[in-house]
Every structure is written in structure tokens, then in C-alpha cells.
Amino acid sequence: MQTLIKNIKELVQVETGRQKLRAQGKEMAQMETVKDAYLLVEDGKIKAFGPMSEWKAKSGERRVEKEVDATGRLVFPTFCDSHTHLVYANSREHEFVDKIRGLSYEEIAKRGGGILNSAKATAAASEQELYDMGRQRLEEAMRLGTGAIEIKSGYGLTTESELKLLRVIRRLKENSPLTIKSNFLGAHGIPMEYRGHQEDYVDLVINEMIPRVADEGLADFIDVFCDQGFFTVDDTARILEAGIKHGMRPKIHANEMAVSGGVQVGVKYNAISVDHLEQMGDAEIECLKGTDTMPTILPGCAFFLNLPLSPARRMVEAGLPVAMASDYNPGTSPSCNMQLILSMACIRYRLTPEEALNATTLNTAYAMDVSHELGTIAVGKKANFYITKPIASYEYMPYSYGENKVERVFLNGVEM
Ligand code: NIG
Ligand code: FE
């Protein structure tokens, strides 16, 4: 089955030469486009693209099974959202109000709120309820232009509850048109009964949870919330080693609350990404150079918690790649809107539109290990793209924040 998108005002973020797995340093500012373009899809993959004049010359204007006229509209690859906690049971707007009144995220967590609050609600929810909520949220993310998403467990914090979350994620993987990767985050919070002897909880994660998760093949990645007030560098190292032994690649939370050693331990265990990075010194930037680890910034979380901004520009200027994801979760970033992340990348972190697009598509695809098949418009990649409403230019995408500029979404070549 072939689908032709024709008369595209501008086809954005194409790759014509050798396909890159990620963009770093100066490469982040490079982004190719084709004006007055066509895009041909066959059997779910990108078959060809180029100027309309080329299509007319080579096709003799032959008609294909499905044609879409994109006059006045731009086409972009869908966003890849490489860091979410999309499967959760309850919203947490009461804590939001507590924060406005002056409590910090860490203080709420210490009192047993925060992640533990979500864990209680998750334990009470059935697998079907969690699945239905997950489906709805995925639909919302897709309508905003997201075509691939990573989803973490971490609101279970007991073996059964963590397995329940991961089984929900597996069902979403099997039944959703989005490309989904799963991440086991048993070490997300320290349950009340383990306070003061958290190494026993770490033992539970290592000796009971990880083997069960691996037995059922439930996780692509292993995550730890390595930060002040949560898991230590030693806890993290032990958990990552166990995860690696069971075939899971590390992808961790680091340096949100403090310069915690999280970046270093992530790099040491060849994490595919280290995420958050609100607290970054020169040593952290140095340590990421020349590694396979993608530094990932979560602008929604910094916005929602009023945290310091990660030094994105300094990282790019140091030659590093930078990715930006939503961190969609009920406690620190209750939005899956990657268009908003794109805007924040430019407005708050001073990335150019080209850099911001690379940060939210190709580099996030890398951070979830799918950049060989997603993240740009390239021949042979999955045909995951969106057509905008009539807009003036690609710079309008980050410029006009808060408005949904996506009109039609195609995943695997099929209109959603
Ligand atoms: O990425 N920082 C740790 N985990 C999540 C927040 C989880 C929550 O508060 O529910 C995050 O921000
Ligand atoms: Fe997170």
C-alpha cells in the first residue's frame, strides 16, 4: 500500500546522506528541509521524498492508492518522548497547592507524599484501570505529535505492584500504534517501612524484583532515582549491575536535587541516557564527553518545580548531544505535550529551533534506542510523521507555544 503526501510547503528534518544515530555539538544546529515537497510511504516505511517537481517528472503524475494534499502545511517527523511515567493511577494537584504554599518536593516526599502517594493509588488500581488510563494518555500524546514513547514503572514499589505496572506497559506496547519502550524503575522511592534501612529495599529490588522482571521479559531498561534524599550512588551501582546482568540497559534519573554523582555512575555503567541534570558542574560535562550516554533534560519538570535550568547551551558548546523529553508524571510534570517542550527548549534553554528539533526527535530517539528507525524523515525509517495546520514556517512550531499546531498524525504510514 502506498500513500503520497503532496504539495508539502516544507518537509522538515530530512536526512539525505548517511543517517546519524544522534546529533552532537555543532551538528545539533544542522537540519535539512525540502520546500514544495512530496513524501511517499510504502508498507509503513518512508519510501522516497524530494521536491514536487521530481515526483512529477518521475511518476508522470501517476496516482497512488492514497493521496493527501498538504498545501500550506509543513510535515515533521513525530516527536520521540524518551522519558515518561505515563502509567499512574492518580493526579496530585493537592501537592501542587502545597508547593505553591511553600513546601518543597523533597519535604513532601519525606512526609510520605509524592511518589509514595502515587504508589498507594497504584496498588489499589486494577490492571485494566491502569491500562485504560494509559491508552487515553497515549492517544493525547499522539494527537500532540508524539510517535514513540518510553514508559517507566516506579509507582509500584512492591514486587507485585511493579510487575502489574510493567504488564500494563507490555499490553500498551502490544496494542498501541506508538513505538513503546519499557523501563523498570523499582528504585524510584523508598517505601515508609524501609526508611532508615533502605539497603534492604535495594536488596529486594536486586534479589526479587529484577529476576522476576527479567523472567517475564518485561523491561528494556533499568532506572534508578539517584539523588539526594533518594538512592545513593552505591545503591545505584548495585542495582545497575544486577539489571545489566539480566539484560537491561541503564537509563537513569540523576542530578535533579543535587550534584549527586548520578552522572558519573550512569556513565560508568554505560547508561543510554542520564536524565534531569538540573544540577550540573564542569566535572559532569567533562565526564559525558566521548561517551555513548545521552544527556537528557526535562524542561517540564524544571518549569513545574521551579528548579534551576540545566546548562543546555554549555553542553552543546562543549560538543555534547542534548535530548529533551516530557517526564510526563503526576508529581513533577503533568503534561505529555512535546510541542511545549520544543518551545521551552528555545525560550528557556536558548536552543535554536533546529537544535530544539534535534533534541526532541533524533536525540530522544537515540535515548530510547530507536534512532535507527525513527527520529528523522529518512528512506527506510518508519513512516511516523505529522502534518501541521497551515503555518508560516518551521520556526513557528516553537514560537507559538501552548497551541496545538498538529492537524494530522501518521504512524507506520497509517493515518490516526
Ligand atoms: O522524573 N524525579 C523522580 N521521578 C519523577 C517524579 C515522580 C513523582 O513525583 O511522581 C521525575 O520527576
Ligand atoms: Fe522522571
Probe residue for ligand 1, chosen from 107, 225, 231, 305 as the CB with the greatest number of ligand atoms within 8 Å:
225
CB 342 within 8 A of CB 348: no
Nearest CA to ligand 1 atom 8: 331
Task: Give me the residues paired with residue 75 across strands.
Answer: 11, 387
Closest ligand to C-alpha of residue 330 is 1
Closest ligand to C-alpha of residue 260 is 1
Per-residue pLDDT of 299-321, as tens digits, reads 999 999 999 999 999 999 999 99
Nearest to 138 by CA among 397, 364, 416, 385: 416
Per-residue pLDDT of 128-150, as tens digits, reads 999 999 999 999 999 999 999 99
pLDDT the model gives residue 141: 98
Count of H helices and E strands in the chain? Answer: 17, 16
Q: Which residues line ligand 1 (CB under 6 A)?
A: 85, 114-115, 118, 225, 253, 256, 301, 327, 329-332
Closest ligand to C-alpha of residue 305 is 1
Three cell numbers written together for 17:
546522506
Per-residue pLDDT of 318-336, as tens digits, reads 999 999 999 999 999 999 9
pLDDT the model gives residue 202: 98
Q: Give the span between the Cα atoms of 29 and 11, in whole angstroms.
A: 17
pLDDT the model gives residue 84: 98
pLDDT the model gives residue 17: 87
pLDDT the model gives residue 63: 81
Alpha-carbon dihedral angle through residues 142, 144, 148, 154, given to the nearest 10 degrees: -90
The answer to whether residue 14 scores a pLDDT higher than 80 is: yes
Concatenating the DSSP letter of every residue in 203-236 gives HHIIIIIHHHHHHTT--SEEEEEESTTSB-HHHH
Give the pLDDT mean for 47-55.
97
Query: Quick one: three-class SS letters along 235-281?
Result: HHHHHHHHHHHCCCEEEEEECCCCCCCHHHHHHHCCCCEEEECCCCC
Q: Give the span between the Cα atoms of 259 and 255, in whole angstroms.
A: 5
Per-residue pLDDT of 205-263, as tens digits, reads 999 999 999 999 999 999 999 999 999 999 999 999 999 999 999 999 999 999 989 99
Q: Give the span between the Cα atoms of 384 and 413, in whole angstroms.
A: 6
* Span from the CA of 246 to the centroid of ligand 1 (angstroms): 25
Q: Give the span between the Cα atoms of 156 and 123, in whole angstroms.
A: 7
Burial class (CB in 10 A: 0-12, 13-18, 19+), 101: exposed
Per-residue pLDDT of 355-377, as tens digits, reads 999 999 999 999 999 999 999 99
Probe residue for ligand 1, chosen from 188, 224, 336 as the CB with the greatest number of ligand atoms within 8 Å:
188
Question: Where do the domains of the chain lie, and which CATH numbers do they carry?
Answer: 2-78+374-415 (2.30.40.10)
The answer to whether residue 60 scores a pLDDT higher than 90 is: no
Count of beta carbons in the 10 Å neighbourhood of residue 68:
18
Q: Give the span between the Cα atoms of 173 and 178, in whole angstroms.
A: 8
Q: 200: pLDDT confidence band, cut at 50, 70 and 90?
A: very high
Nearest CA to ligand 1 atom 5: 332
Strands of the sheet with 249-254, listed across from one edge: 79-81, 146-152, 179-187, 221-226, 249-254, 273-276, 294-297, 323-324
pLDDT the model gives residue 112: 86
The upper half-sphere exposure of residue 56, i.e. CA atoms within 13 Å in the direction of its Cβ, equals 7
The answer to whether residue 62 scores a pLDDT higher than 90 is: no
Per-residue pLDDT of 385-401, as tens digits, reads 999 999 999 999 999 99
Probe residue for ligand 1, chosen from 82, 83, 85 as the CB with the greatest number of ligand atoms within 8 Å:
85
Q: How high does pLDDT run on average in the chain?
A: 97
* Span from the CA of 301 to the centroid of ligand 1 (angstroms): 8
* Span from the CA of 151 to the centroid of ligand 2 (angstroms): 10
Probe residue for ligand 1, chosen from 111, 275, 276, 329 as the CB with the greatest number of ligand atoms within 8 Å:
329
Per-residue pLDDT of 64-73, as tens digits, reads 999 999 999 9
pLDDT the model gives residue 59: 86
The answer to whether residue 61 scores a pLDDT higher than 80 is: no
Give the pLDDT mean for 14-24.
96
Q: Give the span between the Cα atoms of 349 and 309, in whole angstroms.
A: 7
Q: 110: pLDDT confidence band, cut at 50, 70 and 90?
A: confident
Nearest to 77 by CA among 399, 409, 375, 389: 375
The answer to whether residue 416 scores a pLDDT higher than 80 is: yes
Closest ligand to C-alpha of residue 255 is 1
Q: Give the span between the Cα atoms of 218 and 153, in whole angstroms.
A: 10
